[in-house]
Amino acid sequence: MQPTVVSNIPERLDRLPWSPWHTMIVIALGITWLLDGLEVTLSGSLIGILKDPRTLGLSDTQIGFSGTAYLIGAVAGALLFGHATDRHGRRKLFFLTLALYLSATAATAFSWNFASYTLFRALTGCGIGGEYAAVNSAVDELIPARVRGHVDLVVNSTFWIGAALGSGGAILLTHQTLIPVTLSWRFAFGIGALLGLGVLLMRRHVPESPRWLLIHGRKEEADRVVGEVEQRVEQKCGPLPPPGEGVIRLRVRTRTPWGEIWNSMFHKYCRRSFLGFALMIAQAFFYNAVLFTYGLILLRYYHVSSIGLGYYLLPLALGNFLGPLLIGRLFDTIGRRKMITLTYGLSGLLLAVSSWMFARDMLTAWTQAIAWSVIFFIASSAASSAYLTVSEIFPLEIRALAIAIFYACGTLAGGVGGPALFGYLSQTGVRRNLFMGYLAAAALMIGAAVVEWFYGVAAERQALEAISDPLSSVPAEGD
């Protein structure tokens, strides 16, 4: 018979007041999103330079394909490292995936043609995709339940801090005269490698998830980790409130059989799986369609100079970051179902209206930027809530794998084809073609809002174990 462990560790973690330790965790782990934003925006801001024959001389189609390669790499990384995260621990994997990202983005700076650039972009995406599974599961398992929604949304929105850094870095490097244009884009990709190196040092202070340690029978280590956290929090915040009376009883095991994973995700939690799939597809197509081609639209339809693209990306980044920061708390108070439905539906409607205005040539470069900034103020919370949803509604043993699967499915169905498709639509030079593409993205967002309304889970302010029992749970005697 498999041994069991009984623990109140979830109650001990959820009752902790916010402290500098929690802030450190959010910064050290949430940096993943910042790095992704940096990578995506750098490639977008440097489109004009990468098309220059003196650099790589890429075509619109090649630029769109390199964006697709980045996403394919992210999908592969999520699936490869997602299951490994559940098997071998959150901490080991978020070190490994960050190291892969750091190496690949540094290699991108040394690309010599389209093939090498695309390969290194795919490897960079692989590191980022693996980061999502390892990091999101760790954040959710360490952050108190009462603020988990707001914290997750703000963490995810740091993508846009990275986007702003990418835009700013591109502007500085392309406007200076000391470094020739043939080298400035290479230095721009070096920004990500330097940031990644700093984050590696920060993550030395992030512990393994105590919840994961319990599942694998390492109760003494889990108690030690939580005890050290409690001591650090108490030093900064004063005496701690007593933990609740709830305990969890778990069977110790080193792995979860694939049959049990399948049964859990596609039978027991079938509706939740459909919900996660719908939310991830919609936000992936919506975002990737715009982000990977915004630079092409500014160049072709608004005749913005290649070195000025970064200026137009900055307001877009600002709107995306401020959205979750200012309205994210409502996901913990008003509730997940109402807020996710509202943000998805409203984002779709606003995109449909702005796309109609674009098709009729009613916008300028700046009014286009303002319109999309307003839309993404709302859409950023919607997109972030997709990651929040899939990371909290499935059992502990398959949390990272669930994040990986739905990220992969959503990205494959909604994201991988987006950049290539919209790169082609942009190259046609016909506004109506782009309008139809954006209208499809708007319809997906509205459809996802309907799915959320019917299948959404009231996860606000609840412990992860209350939302879904661990697969290895053992009923208390008498239950």
**pLDDT, position 473:** 81
Q: What is the pLDDT of residue 416?
A: 65
- Residue 26 contacts by C-beta under 8 Å, 6 or more apart in sequence? 139, 143, 151, 154, 155
Query: Percentage helix, strand, coil, to 5, in the chain?
Result: 80, 0, 20
What is the model's pLDDT at position 400? Answer: 86
Over 60: is that where the pLDDT of 255 sits? yes
pLDDT band per the 50, 70, 90 thresholds, residue 324: very high
The encoded tokens of residue 129 equal 């995709």
- pLDDT at residue number 307: 65
Nearest to 363 by CA among 304, 450, 443, 442: 304
Q: Are 100 and 153 in contact (CB under 8 A)?
A: no
Burial class of residue 400, CB neighbours in 10 A (0-12, 13-18, 19+)? buried
The Cα 92–Cα 262 span in angstroms is 25
- Rounded to two decimals, the pTM is 0.84
Q: What is the mean pLDDT of residues 68-86?
A: 85
Q: What pLDDT, on a 0 to 100 scale, did the predictor assign at position 328?
A: 92
Is the pLDDT score of 59 beyond 90?
A: no
- Taking all residues of the chain, what is their mean pLDDT, rounded to a whole number? 84
pLDDT over 90 for what percent of the chain? 27
Spatial separation of the C-alpha atoms in residues 173 and 178, rounded to whole Å: 9
Task: Give the separation between CA 13 and CA 240, rounded to whole angstroms.
Answer: 11
In 3D space, the residue among 65, 118, 74, 70 whose CA is nearest the CA of residue 420 turns out to be 65
Higher pLDDT, 150 or 139: 150
In which band, very low, low, confident or very high, does the pLDDT at 415 lie, cut at 50, 70 and 90? Answer: low
Choose the weakest-confidence range: 174-183, 189-198, 340-349.
174-183
DSSP 290-305: HHTTHHHHHHHHS---
Give the Cα separation of 234 and 230 in Å (integer). 6
- The token pair at 283 is 């936000």
Residue linked to tokens 């189609």: 61
pLDDT at residue 444, as a whole number = 93
pLDDT at 259: 85
pLDDT band at residue 353, thresholds of 50, 70 and 90? Answer: very high
pLDDT at position 351, please? 93
* Separation between Cα atoms, residue 182 and residue 54, nearest integer Å: 6
Of the CA atoms within 13 Å of residue 334, those in its CB half-sphere come to: 12
pLDDT range class, residue 430, cuts 50, 70, 90: confident
pLDDT reading at 277 higher than 80:
yes
| 3-class SS of residue 473 | strand
Q: Furthest-apart CA pair in the chain: how many Å?
A: 76
Confidence at residue 173, expressed as pLDDT on a 0 to 100 scale: 65
Taking 70 as the threshold, does the pLDDT of residue 25 lie above it? yes
Q: Which stretch of 37-51, 55-69, 432-446 has the lowest confidence by average pLDDT?
A: 37-51
pLDDT of residue 306: 65
Using alpha carbons, select from 369, 338, 371, 337 the residue that is nearest to residue 352: 371
Contacts of 17 (CB under 8 A, 6+ apart): 233, 237, 240
- Cβ atoms of 61 and 286 within 8 Å: the answer is no
The structural domains of the chain, ordered by start, are 4-242+251-467 (1.20.1250.20)
Q: Sign of dihedral through CA atoms 236, 240, 246, 250?
A: positive
pLDDT at residue 62 tops 90: no
